[in-house]
Amino acid sequence: MRMVVLGLGYLGATHAVCMAELGHEVLGIEVVPEKRAQLSAGQVPFYEPDLPELLNRHINSGAMRVSDSYAEAADFADVFFIAVGTPQKKGEYSADLAYVDAAIEELIPLLTRNSLILGKSTVPVGTAQRLSDRADELAKDVEVEIAWNPEFLREGFAVADTLHPDRVVVGAFPGGRAEVVCREIYAPIVQAQTPFIVTDPPTAELVKTSANAFLATKISFINAIAEVCDAAGADVKAIADAIGHDARIGRKFLNAGLGFGGGCLPKDIRAFMARAGELGAAEALSFLREVDNVNMRRRTRMVELARQVCGGSLLGKRIAILGAAFKPESDDVRDSPALNVAGQIQLQGASVTVYDPKAMDNSRKLFPTLDYAASAVDACDTADVVLVLTEWQEFADLDPHLLSETVRNRRVVDGRMCLNAEVWEAAGWQYYA
């Protein structure tokens, strides 16, 4: 099937490449020249395992092409995916739908045959209905159907999550062809017995935001328990392991630590709260404010702990920060807890050196005043304390004996509880988590 993906950022590029992998002919539309040039050359402009190989293959085979022309897109296919960004509005919690609206406004007047537009972007509930109404106004002698097909991919596992998802959700208005077309698009996935869930558009929109809100709540819950454990002298990891055996709870996303960040969970729970308020249901999601508060408090707690470890003041101390990406297997530093902590510590007078296996370039753009090292060992040179703030396997595998020869003081703060405390303590380190 021929299809168009509008927006080739993290979501769009992954979706376009994976649709080509499923056997479709894909045209990707990207208006940023630098990004478009990279993708056209078979280069992924961000780090995502397995994606570069697939992109290269399908660009070279011709199964995927990249353009900036909406006119070409309108002529190429009658199935379109919207995968543009929906960032948080400046100064408020609501999602900024300017890119979604712009895509609709530019595409629909160019359409010359009946078309289906499938939304992938995370949007507030009611967006599909609003866009459907606008499509009716913009369409010229053609029928344009709007439906919502939310994504559930995880950075670091995006290819696997797209090609082997745990469910496919399609939110369609009655009488349209969205369900039939999506079953054809995702035929290999459906044939693998993946649940195929058809709902109305508002429900599909809420499936995505509800999933993110639940995951954020689960993370903040265990971090709130960690605060109680600190006060009571209990072991939060043992608690997570014990309650995780309960099938109703599960162990995933019960890892206490520095909390969540990135381009999805923080903005999505805030946009969910904002939309609930617009609908007159603000009280229903009031608990998400505390979820957000607990999450942000973890960053402050990490700075306080670093200061305590350094004897009560960070002034003049040398701090090694291992990790800059908001999570491992990613170079994404949007709302990164690690960089937030690094910035706060620098403001308190410390000399901060950061190392991350993949996120160095993005970190420099966001925090140019921090120092950066070429390796974990270099970052720890003469450090008074080492902070592990992203759980890369490279950091979990570090040899504390080797680092002992580099640091000024053998003190490590495990912000992700990914180190073996016994091994580090046996090597003479003071271990904090």
Tell me the pTM: 0.94
Sequence-distant (6+) residues with CB within 8 A of 120 are 11, 12, 15, 81, 82, 83, 149, 150, 151
Q: What is the pLDDT of residues 10-37, one digit of tens each?
A: 999 999 999 999 999 999 999 999 999 9
Across the range 56-69, mean pLDDT stands at 98
Name the token pair of 306. Answer: 């670093």
Write down the domain spans for the chain: 2-198, 200-433
Name the token pair of 167. Answer: 């469910």
Q: What is the pLDDT of residues 129-138, one digit of tens each?
A: 999 999 999 9
Residue 27: half-sphere exposure toward Cβ, Cα within 13 Å: 18
Known catalytic residue at 310? no
The backbone torsions φ and ψ at residue 25, rounded to the nearest 5 degrees and listed phi first, read: -100, 120
Whole-number pLDDT of residue 412 = 98
- Is domain 200-433 in CATH 3.40.50.720, yes or no? yes
Average pLDDT, the chain: 97
pLDDT band at 251 (very low <50, low <70, confident <90, very high): very high
Q: What is the pLDDT of residues 92-108, one digit of tens each?
A: 999 999 999 999 999 99
Q: Which amino acid is at 26?
A: V
Residue 84 and residue 12 in contact, taking contact as beta carbons nearer than 8 Å: yes
Backbone CA torsion sign across 175, 179, 182, 188: negative
Q: What is the pLDDT of residues 276-319, one digit of tens each?
A: 999 999 999 999 999 999 999 999 999 999 999 999 999 999 99
Fold equal for 2-198 and 200-433: yes
Sequence-distant (6+) residues with CB within 8 A of 69 are 29
Across the range 379-391, mean pLDDT stands at 98
Across the range 228-236, mean pLDDT stands at 96
Across the range 173-186, mean pLDDT stands at 97
Q: What is the pLDDT of residues 355-371, one digit of tens each?
A: 999 999 999 999 999 99
Domain 2-198, CATH class in plain words: alpha beta
SS3 content of the chain, % helix, strand, coil (to 5): 45, 15, 40
Across the range 341-346, mean pLDDT stands at 98
| Catalytic residue chosen out of the listed positions 18, 264, 310, 380 | 264
pLDDT band at 192 (very low <50, low <70, confident <90, very high): very high
CA distance 223 to 236: 9
Q: Are strands 196-199 and 64-67 parallel, antiparallel or unpaired?
A: unpaired
